[in-house]
Structure 1
Amino acid sequence: MTGDALTLGVEEEFLLVDAEGRLSELGPDIVGSESWPESGLQRELVRCQVETATPVCDGIEELLAQVRKLRRQLTDRAVARELRLMPSGTPVLPEPGPPPITPNPRYHRIAREFGAITDTAGTCSCHVHVGVPDRAAGVAVSNRLRAWLPVLLALTANSPFDGGHDTGYCSWRHVRWARWPSSGPPPVFSSVDHYDTVVQALLRAGAVLDRGMVYWDIRLSEKQPTLEVRVCDVPGTADEAALLAAIVRGLVATALQDTGRAPRPTPDVLRAALWRAARDGLDGHGFDPLTATLRPMREQLARLTAYVRPALRDAGDLDFVTARLARLTTTGDGASRQRAAYAERRALRDVVDMLARQTNC
């Protein structure tokens, strides 16, 4: 790794389930009252969910170690309560009703203002933070990264089941999350002022209650000097989380150096591409927003990795990414592994068991 490599960090959301695979309400108890971000653990909007956040990392192996450490920490706490940590974008088994809200004034206000949309909060994603020089650079990078969002979603799709049935999608989490009025791909911004103007409009409309509710797939972090990519399902394994982070860092580094005119797919075309990526995942055909044609998603992934290859090499991440992508070819992506686990005995509990086992891989 060179000394110029961009810093990075990862936030991961998980579901807590009991021995039967049903959602648990003990998320706040598992996290405890420790201060965050010092602990790396955080409560979430609903009680069945917990979140981890790595410290700022320089290298991908350092990041992987931190992801594993936090996953193990949560796993140990869950096991002490006879619970399990489940890295899936959506709940696998049917539940009697929406997940209860975590006791917190802000969370309860969100529930009052957004009603049944809040029921979609029981979904789990992964957010990658990459350090950028300033907000203006972050806006410019966001504009360049938009077109790659469907590939990132397909790479990490890990939520084919929801509430006891196969949805027909590889990332049902993406479909559920799209109900929030501030979700989806970000607009193309002409400047930081333009970015802030759009955020202010969302606030005035009541579409967000605060800037933390800007749920675009790419956004400027309000707490860190980073650009945050939020489009992905939570990966099944720690290795996959680190793979995603390395690729996102490669995209950001490449975009910072790219002085040509970036492709700017229209919002309707990009949303269509994201829908197709959510449905078909990595092994299907994706709607390429750059050409407006259907192409194998693995072909699009190969084009992405070729695009960021110089940045991966400069950061010392090329071998890491190459090996992990090769492994996915053998093991299958998250959605295909979930479906394979179900297919053996047509038992959804086998899916939950498989997810819980691979948490610390």
Structure 2
Amino acid sequence: METLNLPTSGPAMVAYAAGDLRIEDVPLVPPAADQAVVQIRYGGICGSDLHYWQHGAAGESILKAPMVLGHEIVGVVAQAAADGSGPGVGTPVAVHPATPGPGAARYPADRPNLSPGCTYLGSAAQYPHTDGAFRRYATLPSRMLRELPAGLDLRTAALIEPASVAWHAVARAGEVVGKTALVIGCGPIGALAVAVLRRAGAATIVAVDVHPRPLEIAAAVGADRVLQAGDAGAITAVEADVVIESSGSHHGLASAIKGAARGGRVVMVGLLPSGPQPVHISLAITRELELVGSFRFNDEITDVIGALADGSLRIGPVITHEFPLERGLEAFDVARNSAVSGKVLLDFGP
């Protein structure tokens, strides 16, 4: 096994509590036999990263101790796993950040994303928390690594993880070929859902958002029409066969229900805040709508990598900003302003 002279520590983005995000030196965890060390090149700031920073929690996952953020990451293997598993040194890789785990609750065996003991890079769902990889070098299980095909640039590849979330959501919508699709909320996940719907053969895609900039991005990746979120009449008139709700607000869910055709399906991928939410359930009942949850993803990452490699999935316009690690706090500040930004990347290069 080739061994490089790796640093013993390095700067990382660490969330301490609501409003307390720091760039500080963190030790590099020595790799076990089935772990590799990856030189991280790009990391995308996710909504959950923003929630940990702004609120000290992401949904039901509450920050109880300092945690390195980051799960949307790509890089190059700097030290391969000692047991020979996984890709070799110099291989460009994406990362599947989930580790399914057992728990008391039952779940379908073919849907490990629902395993109650599942951990995720940069997640406070379990305690001790699972550190993420917003750092220059990260020690990761080799089973998480997905080799990237030649010619796929790492900057675009940084979108593979969120694109897999969008791919899973569209799959939860069922057959979309020839159908009318409505996407509520055109942040990065919503915009990526538009791109996946376009590739999947939806006949008409209508995108909805509060701000003009996200709607511009949605149009660039495949939306046929865009609507302002306040135009309730136009949204209701869409009568979509499938709706992807990715705003993560009860207002967005209300628009999704109103914009769905009778007998349609609403896929809820936007994570609403914890606790009771006002929902138009009566309308969902009388229209016989199917309200379907969508959480993370499973093996869709393989399909996303293939679609990016063959050029059938166009997602480049979703990336709007890029900052070096040293300007990470500024990057988070830009990322939280959905009026001006799509996906904001951290560049961990030297």
TM-score by length of 1: 0.28
Structure with the bigger RCO (C-alpha within 8 Å, sep 6+) is 1
Larger Rg belongs to: 2
Greater strand fraction, Structure 1 or Structure 2: 2
The structure carrying a bigger helix percent of its residues is: 1
Q: So what's the TM-score if we normalise by structure 2?
A: 0.29
